[in-house]
Structure 1
Amino acid sequence: MRSFILAAATAISTLPLLASAAVGDACSANGTPGVCLSTSTCTSGSGTTHTGFCPNDPADVKCCTKSCGTGGQCRLVSSCPSGNTLSGLCPGPSTIRCCLPAGGCTAPNVNAATISLIKQFEGFVASPAPDPIGLPTVGYGHLCQTTGCAEVPYSFPLTTTTASALLTSDLRTYQNCIARDIRDTVVLNANQYGALVSWAFNVGCGNTASSTLISRLNNGEAPNTVASEELPKWNKAGGQVLPGLVNRRAAEVTLFRTASSVTAHPPPC
């Protein structure tokens, strides 16, 4: 466990930026944002240490800075003004990510093969109706957030055109969480990325983020092997194995293992 040292804040005239900072807190070294980390953690992650900017911590804790991505700096996710971050590029815990300038890297849209797979398994529903486990959905798998799906900006019954537009909008959430949770050292082609977005769209970002599948990818295991072994496990809804989910996972594995020359992850900038 990290040891946090609490001390009364005292004004230090020579250090105008932070009077106290615990390990893992934000710091700033001569205007460059960073995080207070142990010297060994910082240097092992190719960061640069700066003495005197984390004054109330032990001597081996210093302000760690590191440039990353395209014009980015490693800092706490909560202090990234653009909200545009990349994982796997910074020393320290997962709360420290590469903070990119506004308008930097964004998760790409999935390819046509992915859209086709999702539409095949979600099916088209013109007006809100319960799905196989009783949840109200409309279009191509849009889960209603309000009574009667009032949040949908299109009139009912939907057409295939408006349902496709709704799907494109809905997928941004799942594209972003897959791009966010998989380290940027993991290279995925457009079909591999698309298969994972389809999976996230089906099971939710919370489940994918905590999954063994994502952990194994981030640990550097072979993507095709990981997908083939892990995706089929996600075949239940309401505690029951559903044939439709068995078939969907098999289709996602097939898409994942289909070669593509287009790189989709890490997100292009």
Structure 2
Amino acid sequence: MKFAILAAVASFLAPASAYAITGDNVNCRSGPGTSYAVKKVYKKGTDVKISCQTTGTNINGNNLWDKTSDGCYVSDYYVKTGSNGYVTSKCSSSGGSTCAAPKSNQATVDLIAEFEGFRANIYTDAAGYATVGYGHKCQKAKCAEVKYKIPLSKADGKKLLADDMRSFEVCITNMLNSKAKLNYNQFGALVSWSFNVGCGAAKSSTLIKRLNNGENVNKVLSEELPKWNKAGGKVLQGLVRRRAAEVALAKKSGSSQALPVKC
């Protein structure tokens, strides 16, 4: 019996040789979320080795993402690991934290909702994507991945929005180091900004570099966020208002520490 137990433990701890991809043409991305660039595409049945796992965009109820031996991230939902939980170690973030990213406060959800606008039923957006709620882009026909009843209520729409915000919470956490000390309102301002401009653009920005140099957070946000007011080279009043709302949120007091993460 003792030998059998030890053998089972050894089997559990041993790294798996490979796990099969279960979806058709599954994207492997530069980070753990659908907002990151596609680096590789796996065909159904491809065996992938997982080096570590982390949290990211929620895909059909699973917010785990697997970092493969190819150096990119694929949603665990499409990998046949036999579990919806961790089967290997957690990935260390580039910002130095190995803890889970904080969740945005309600003020952040409300701010993003205000500027995204709400549609209860599925519609086609300006870029041709099937969309519902507060800007959720459908991943399956008729938004089958959405766990809330469609037509959406505004309350469920905000829950879906909070799910979609997760990858941006993770990417903001990962791109900032321990010199960047943010409360939840300041963190929320950055989540709203990255949700709008994308994690790739945010990571390469002067704003993030200044925060990682330890500069005063509100000074940096007040000076840098308003610069992100253009689309196609033209200033858009909607973006001017959004940046002003993000700065105003960051300056609100009475919010506890969000970053660096307290494990």
Where on the TM-score scale, by shorter chain, does this alignment land: which range? 0.5 to 0.7
In 2, Cα distance between the equivalents of 1:209 and 1:147? 32
- State the Cα distance separating 1:210 from its structure 2 match: 1.3
Q: Counterpart amino acid of 1:192?
A: Q
- State the Cα distance separating 1:214 from its structure 2 match: 0.6
Query: Could you list the runs of 5+ residues in structure 2 that have no partner in the other structure?
Result: 1-70, 72-87
- State the Cα distance separating 1:220 from its structure 2 match: 1.7
2:180 match: 186
Change (3 A) 1:169 1:184: same
- State the Cα distance separating 1:224 from its structure 2 match: 1.1
Change (3 A) 1:243 1:267: same
Work out the percentage of aligned pairs sharing the same amino acid. Answer: 54
Change (3 A) 1:257 1:212: same
Q: Counterpart amino acid of 1:112?
A: Q
Q: Structure 2 length as normaliser, TM-score?
A: 0.61
In 2, Cα distance between the equivalents of 1:147 and 1:206? 27
Q: Counterpart amino acid of 1:213?
A: L
Report SS of the residue matched to 2:145.
coil
1:85 match: 92
Which residues in structure 2 correspond to 1:193-208 (within 5 Å)? 193-208=187-202
Any runs of at least 4 consecutive aligned residues in structure 1 with deviations exceeding 6 A, and if so which?
A: none
- State the Cα distance separating 1:223 from its structure 2 match: 1.1
1:224 match: 218
2:33 match: none
1:40 match: none
Change (3 A) 1:118 1:136: same
Change (3 A) 1:83 1:149: same
1:158 match: 152
Query: Could you list the runs of 5+ residues in structure 1 that have no partner in the other structure?
Result: 1-77, 89-96
Which residues in structure 2 correspond to 1:134-173 (within 5 Å)? 136-173=130-167
Q: Which has the higher contact order (CA 8 A, sep 6+)?
A: 2
Can you list the C-alpha shifts for 1:150-173, whole angstroms capped at 9, x where unaligned? Answer: 432334211112212211211111
Q: Size of the alignment, in residue pairs?
A: 177
Can you list the C-alpha shifts for 1:182-240, whole angstroms capped at 9, x where unaligned? Answer: 11221101110011011111111111111111111112222111111111111123443
Change (3 A) 1:235 1:146: farther
Change (3 A) 1:241 1:133: farther
Q: Counterpart amino acid of 1:188?
A: L
1:111 lines up with 2:118 in the alignment: no
Within the candidate set 252, 256, 259, 1:262 is matched to 256
Contact 1:232 1:250 in 2 (8 A): yes
RMSD: 2.2
Change (3 A) 1:201 1:114: same
Can you list the C-alpha shifts for 1:23-79, whole angstroms capped at 9, x where unaligned? Answer: xxxxxxxxxxxxxxxxxxxxxxxxxxxxxxxxxxxxxxxxxxxxxxxxxxxxxxx6x
Change (3 A) 1:216 1:121: same
Report SS of the residue matched to 2:122.
strand
